[in-house]
Structure 1
Amino acid sequence: MSIKKRGQNEGSIYFHNKSNSWCAQISLEGKRITKYFKTKTEARAWIKITLDQIDSGLSLKGASSNVKQFLSEWIIAVTPNLAPTSARDYASYINRHINPYIGKIKLSELRPDQVQTFYNRLSQKGYTQSTIRIVHAVLHKSLNQAVKWGLIGRNPSSLVEKPKPKKKEMKTWNNLQVMSFLSAIQDPKYQALFYLAVTTGMRQGELLGLMWEDLDWITGHIQVKRQLQRITGLGKVLREPKSASGKRTIVLGQTALDKLKENKDNQFRLKSFVGEKWKEHNLIFTSSVGTGIEPRRMYLMFKKYSKNVNLPSIRLHDLRHTAATLMLQENVHPKIVQERLGHSDITLTLNTYSHVTPVMQNDVAEKLDNLLKPILVSNQA
């Protein structure tokens, strides 16, 4: 075995008889890193690249650890600043999607083309664009942190073609179809629940997370503060909205308040009937024993009522789109629509409901005609 030594901290290369390969070593910060290669050229190149990375300010850990090792440390570091469900989701995407494909690649050697190939392979495996976008978001966020920690010089995921979302077809009901749907509901609880859905545009989880303390009967204001969701492994949980705009106050009309009053009276009778079996959570919409309504249950009831009156099939989430469309068609200012929906930016509202614009354009043209026609007729006379 012959050893070719280099200068101080420049590493060494020698042929390792037992493994029949070339061994490259560098010693820095009191630690020795050893790698084996098929050729001497590869060993020399590795030493040069590693030392260049360290000279450029990257840490020894960044030069030696692989993607999986880095992500393991990153998820531990960021978990205290994440909601429990978010931390759980991050770890799931890392373990199920990222590590199996690129986990063994050295962090400092991860290239944009490898990230792009990774995304393409996920797509070929049949994963949805939505899933791939989340994988990208997690990987991109973690690699940004790697740059801040001095583990890599740049984020390779910033240089790839990000997965583009497939725009789902939006279907809505008109006002007559909405009235037909509501007339098919006899249960006071679901009458109030779905009436709020089509007049406020609240999300399913926001509706199911409403509490009586959120409602001001005098002003008609109801505050959106939380969402009820079913999380795998945790059951039904109440979570705060992810964005500041998600927390909002919505003004209700008298009909909505009347339906909520009927629901409250019915809830009181139900509570008296079941007695000690009632579990008080102060929720506006509850199961028969006071717990939150299962999101799946709301979906099934929505499908049942709409099918009973032969309405066009739409998604439950499309009730939110229906509410927004009806508001815009009634010339409610887009800023008000944005605030009721909880959108962070009015641009999102306008882009999402651009299909309403042509109808509004016709209305504007007709209104301007009616406004100016008397003046023109007077001048011609």
Structure 2
Amino acid sequence: MIAASNRGLPPSSAGSVAAYLTYWLENVAVHHLRENTHTRYTACVHRYLVPGLGKKKLAKLTAKDVRTWLNQLRTICQCCARGIDARRDQPRCCAAGRCCRKLLSPPTLTYIHSVLKSALEHAVCEEEIPRNVARNVRTGTPRPRRFEPLTADEARQFLAATGGHRLHALFELALHTGLRKGELLGLRWEDLNLDAGTAAIRRTLQRTNAGGLTTLPIKTRASERRIALPARCLQSLKLHREQQQREREAAGTAWQDSGHVFTTVQGGPIDPTNLTRAFITLLRKAGLRRIRFHDLRHSTATLLLEQGVELVVIKELLGHAHIGVTATVYAHVRLRLQRNAIDTLSTALSSGGITETASSDGDEPPPCTVLVR
């Protein structure tokens, strides 16, 4: 105890990692995280952190302990570790005598590590421990998730398929502005200025375990933004408003006045899952490959980059906190544009020479032809 006191550790740090993680989830994280994020954190703690590190003393946890645990977690089949296969009607992994090697992906490992770092960082702030040992462990940077954005031809084909759909204005707005699913469903008519052609992105619609469909403020300040709307979207929104008015009259007293731009036939908010189902149906109708709804956002950014729009403009439109996020996510597009630019230069130089025809005022050397190899 004297040695621990000399190291600056308070007496309360003698508890286990599991006890502190439980305290952190119930008294700290619950007040600083959104409900869905807190649910994911809780699942991560009970599924991975407590079984792996829960019995260790918080004050005696070292970077070596964290690294050893992460290395084991990286090689353990999750069917075996969590008993998933034993609960199946027909076992096909460990219970059947053959391991399927269902390993955690690098992004999942990075996420688990980040949850541990967040918890230990708060322990440092409360002077439970002198330093965050998880920060001394590197999990490596996972490769960004690959996505397959729509090409210009595919985008036109998709918009043609949505022509008669009651949510045509939503899909057109998604493909022209790159708004997220929750941002589209959270739009209210008060957020739109159809005369000025702008939209204020202030809120998002999410489904939570406690409140069901809930409208929440935008997560970050960078995401709260005002964007310009193209003339095509303005026309679609005006037609959509007229259609919504006809649906209101048809519903009568059953109409739910939620104020949202995109609603159900009864006026209530649209469940994000139902929107995904409608999106997949339209992809099938258009004869396109199956992609995620979020890939419409990637399609917007990719098409803008290919049209030569500056990265900072795309960053403001998408609501990224830093331009580095935009540059990292769409690095493959920028590389393709660089290759096209280099090929253009190579074509210009492959003619055998470039003739300089600039006029001279006497101070410069006379123009000449220079052979470029």
Per the shorter chain, which TM-score range? Answer: 0.7 to 0.9
Q: Is the 8 A contact 2:199 2:227 kept in 1?
A: yes
> Which of residues 298, 305, 325 is equivalent to 1:328?
305
Corresponding position: 1:356 with 2:356: no
Q: Give the equivalent residue in structure 2 for 1:286.
A: 263
Secondary structure, aligned partner of 2:213:
strand
Corresponding position: 1:69 with 2:46: no
Q: Give the equivalent residue in structure 2 for 1:179.
A: 156
Structure 1: runs of 5+ lacking an equivalent? 1-49
Q: Give the equivalent residue in structure 1 for 2:100.
A: none
Following superposition, the deviation at residue 247 of structure 1 comes to 0.7
Following superposition, the deviation at residue 78 of structure 1 comes to 4.5
From the superposition, tell whether residues 92 and 351 of structure 1 become closer, same or farther in structure 2 (CA, over 3 Å).
closer
Q: Give the equivalent residue in structure 2 for 1:211.
A: 188
Instruction: Tell me the number of residue pairs that the alignment of Structure 1 and Structure 2 aligns.
Output: 329
Q: Give the equivalent residue in structure 2 for 1:25.
A: none
Two-structure CA RMSD over aligned residues (Å): 2.7
Corresponding position: 1:53 with 2:16: no
Aligned pairs for 1:187-198 (under 5 A) are 187=164, 189-198=166-175
CA distance in 2, matches of 1:357, 1:274: 49
Corresponding position: 1:316 with 2:267: no
Corresponding position: 1:261 with 2:238: yes
Greater mean alpha carbon deviation, residues 237-246 or residues 115-124: 115-124
Q: Give the equivalent residue in structure 2 for 1:4.
A: none
Greater mean alpha carbon deviation, residues 107-116 or residues 202-211: 107-116
CA distance in 1, matches of 2:192, 2:261: 9
Aligned pairs for 1:1-381 (under 5 A) are 50-62=1-13, 64-75=14-25, 76-123=27-74, 124=76, 125=78, 126-162=103-139, 164-187=141-164, 189-361=166-338, 362=340, 366=344, 376=357
Greater mean alpha carbon deviation, residues 162-171 or residues 268-277: 162-171
Q: Deviations over 1:5-32 (max 9, x none)?
A: xxxxxxxxxxxxxxxxxxxxxxxxxxxx
Following superposition, the deviation at residue 186 of structure 1 comes to 3.3
Q: Give the equivalent residue in structure 1 for 2:87.
A: none
CA distance in 1, matches of 2:356, 2:156: 40
Task: Give the alignment's TM-score, normalised by structure 2.
Answer: 0.80
Rg: which structure is higher?
A: 1
CA distance in 1, matches of 2:140, 2:15: 27
Q: Deviations over 1:35-70 (max 9, x none)?
A: xxxxxxxxxxxxxxx4312122210111x2111222
CA distance in 2, matches of 1:177, 1:377: 45
Higher strand fraction: Structure 1 or Structure 2? 1
Q: Whose RCO is larger (CA < 8 A, sep 6+)?
A: 2
Secondary structure, aligned partner of 1:244:
coil
Q: Is the 8 A contact 2:9 2:129 kept in 1?
A: yes
CA distance in 2, matches of 1:100, 1:299: 35
Following superposition, the deviation at residue 166 of structure 1 comes to 4.2
Following superposition, the deviation at residue 351 of structure 1 comes to 2.1
Q: Is the 8 A contact 1:188 1:262 kept in 2?
A: no
Q: Is the 8 A contact 1:189 1:285 kept in 2?
A: no
Give the % identical residues. 30
CA distance in 2, matches of 1:363, 1:163: 32
Following superposition, the deviation at residue 348 of structure 1 comes to 1.7
CA distance in 1, matches of 2:57, 2:2: 15
Greater mean alpha carbon deviation, residues 203-212 or residues 312-321: 312-321
From the superposition, tell whether residues 90 and 351 of structure 1 become closer, same or farther in structure 2 (CA, over 3 Å).
closer
CA distance in 1, matches of 2:244, 2:300: 26
Q: Is the 8 A contact 2:35 2:208 kept in 1?
A: no
Secondary structure, aligned partner of 2:313:
helix
From the superposition, tell whether residues 355 and 80 of structure 1 become closer, same or farther in structure 2 (CA, over 3 Å).
closer
Following superposition, the deviation at residue 216 of structure 1 comes to 0.6
Following superposition, the deviation at residue 111 of structure 1 comes to 1.8
